[in-house]
């Protein structure tokens, strides 16, 4: 149901409408670029905080790399920072949004949202276990001995969840950019025999 019919839009037919429309589009493009640069900065922050996270004391030495969840958080934030920068650059270029491009953005934004959400979640779970412990399966409360380590890991995790929020919004935006190119399904009120097509024209 892709919209194949092309024609002049009502806005374009108006004299100054084209310029106004151009302004709106430039503003939207700038907004989306910024919305992609913000998570990039956040990802790099979360990554750096976690990378520097290690603590040595009388109980021993603990580094982020000792825990699979935190290694995953670092990798996920690295990938997300790279994708955010790349996508920001592509969005910033004033090119028309084609169907394959809209699908690519939609799918990659969805995947990145899931990746960064799982990274934040596993880190939260490990932090929860490390601070509460689990007596039944004799897991100790590591945060009692390594308070500083847990505190910095918590900061990194909170920043990661800020990235999740940015990506949830970006997912919404790329869904809109993709699916608004498609026709709306025709609505029917059953039993009344009235068909109402919600289309623009």
List residues binding a second copy (CB under 8 A). Answer: 1, 3, 5-9, 11-12, 18, 21-22, 25, 28, 60-62, 66-69, 94, 96-97, 110, 114, 117-118, 121-122, 124-126, 128-130, 132, 134, 136-140, 142, 146, 168, 171, 175-190, 195-201
Q: How far is the CB of 19 from a second copy (least distance, A)?
A: 11
Our CB check for a second copy shows the closer of 30 and 44 to be 30
Q: How far is the CB of 140 from a second copy (least distance, A)?
A: 5
Q: How far is the CB of 31 from a second copy (least distance, A)?
A: 13
Q: Nearest Cα to 73, choosing from 125, 130, 122, 131?
A: 122
Q: How far is the CB of 158 from a second copy (least distance, A)?
A: 16
User: How many angstroms separate the CA atoms of 85 and 72, rounded?
Assistant: 20
User: How many angstroms separate the CA atoms of 173 and 176, rounded?
Assistant: 5
Residue 109 makes CB contacts below 8 A (sequence gap 6+) with 87, 167, 170, 171, 173, 174
User: How many angstroms separate the CA atoms of 100 and 97, rounded?
Assistant: 9
What are the distances in angstroms from CA 9 to CA 5, 44, 83, 159? Answer: 11, 42, 34, 43
Residue with tokens 């169907």: 99
Our CB check for a second copy shows the closer of 3 and 44 to be 3
Q: How far is the CB of 148 from a second copy (least distance, A)?
A: 14
Residue 74 makes CB contacts below 8 A (sequence gap 6+) with 47, 50, 51, 64
Our CB check for a second copy shows the closer of 44 and 133 to be 133
Our CB check for a second copy shows the closer of 44 and 187 to be 187
Q: Which value, in Å, is the radius of gyration of the alpha carbons in the chain?
A: 24
Q: How far is the CB of 69 from a second copy (least distance, A)?
A: 6
Our CB check for a second copy shows the closer of 44 and 161 to be 161
User: How many angstroms separate the CA atoms of 120 and 107, rounded?
Assistant: 20
Our CB check for a second copy shows the closer of 44 and 118 to be 118
């Amino acid at each position: 149901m892709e919209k194949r019919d092309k024609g002049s839009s009502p806005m374009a037919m108006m004299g100054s409408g084209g310029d106004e429309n151009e302004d709106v589009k430039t503003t939207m493009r700038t907004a989306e670029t910024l919305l992609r640069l913000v998570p990039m900065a956040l990802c790099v922050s979360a990554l750096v905080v976690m990378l520097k996270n290690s603590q040595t004391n009388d109980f021993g030495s603990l580094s982020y790399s000792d825990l699979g969840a935190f290694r995953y958080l670092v990798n996920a934030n690295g990938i997300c920072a790279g994708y955010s920068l790349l996508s920001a650059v592509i969005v910033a270029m004033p090119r028309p949004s084609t169907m394959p491009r809209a699908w690519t953005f939609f799918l990659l934004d969805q995947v990145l949202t899931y990746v960064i959400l799982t990274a934040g979640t596993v880190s939260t779970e490990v932090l929860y276990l490390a601070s509460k412990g689990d007596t039944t399966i004799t897991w100790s409360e590591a945060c009692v001995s390594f308070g500083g380590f847990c505190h910095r890991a918590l900061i990194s995790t909170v920043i990661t969840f800020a990235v999740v929020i940015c990506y949830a919004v970006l997912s919404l935006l790329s869904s809109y950019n993709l699916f608004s190119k498609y026709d709306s399904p025709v609505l029917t009120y059953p039993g009344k025999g009235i068909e109402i097509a919600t289309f623009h024209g």
